[in-house]
């Protein structure tokens, strides 16, 4: 399969996943009753959307109030990191888009200056700009393992905070 065909398929897959998760977001909430597995699946699906918001922070908060907040933080961060691969795939498939978008250029500049710390910070703070960071990471061909490491650590900080917040505020 040609490289261009792979890129197009990757972009189409990322968009299809995003649209499907957004369209069925009310059904995704039904997974909460499945315990840790439900939290993990919600985290994957909620972060698999590109730009379209799905409230995974709320899942960590509620999960931390019900289950062990440490494990909720770990599981939510792992699922969220896997889900964020859709942005990475979209970036790897649409490298030309990065060159034309000013927001993506700004994030690319941060990544050139600060490296993987940029991804860590974007993943650690609640913000809609993280998807742009994933797109830039894919477009600039950051190795997947480095991407997942930086994103996983950043997501862990964020979701530990919300899981323990949920634990302390509900107990």
The residue among 7, 21, 25 whose CA lies nearest residue 50 is 21
How far apart are alpha carbons 50 and 151 in whole angstroms? 15
Looking at per-residue pLDDT, the higher value among 84 and 16 belongs to 84
Residue that is written with structure tokens 């509620």 in the block: 62
Token pair for residue 88?
A: 């990475």
10-48 pLDDT, tens digit per residue, is 555 555 555 554 555 555 455 456 788 888 888 888 887
Report pLDDT digits (tens) over 112-153. 899 899 999 999 998 877 888 888 898 888 999 999 999 999
What pTM was computed for the model? 0.78
Summarize pLDDT for 101-121 with one digit per residue, the tens.
Answer: 787 788 888 888 998 999 999
DSSP class of residue 34 equals G
């Amino acid at each position: 399969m040609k490289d261009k065909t792979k890129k197009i398929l990757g972009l189409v897959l990322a968009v299809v996943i995003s649209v499907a998760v957004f369209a069925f977001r009310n059904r995704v909430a039904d997974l909460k009753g499945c315990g840790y597995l439900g939290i993990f699946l919600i985290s994957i699906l909620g972060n698999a959307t590109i730009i379209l918001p799905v409230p995974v922070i709320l899942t960590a908060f509620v999960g931390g109030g019900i289950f062990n907040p440490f494990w909720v933080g770990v599981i939510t961060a792992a699922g969220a990191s896997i889900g964020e691969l859709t942005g990475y795939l979209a970036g790897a498939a649409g490298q030309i888009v990065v060159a034309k978008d000013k927001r993506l250029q700004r994030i690319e500049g941060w990544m050139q200056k600060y490296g993987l710390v940029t991804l860590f910070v974007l993943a650690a703070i609640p913000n809609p700009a993280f998807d742009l960071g994933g797109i830039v990471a894919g477009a600039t061909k950051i190795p997947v393992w480095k991407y997942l490491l930086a994103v996983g650590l950043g997501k862990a900080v964020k979701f530990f905070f919300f899981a323990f917040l949920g634990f302390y505020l509900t107990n």
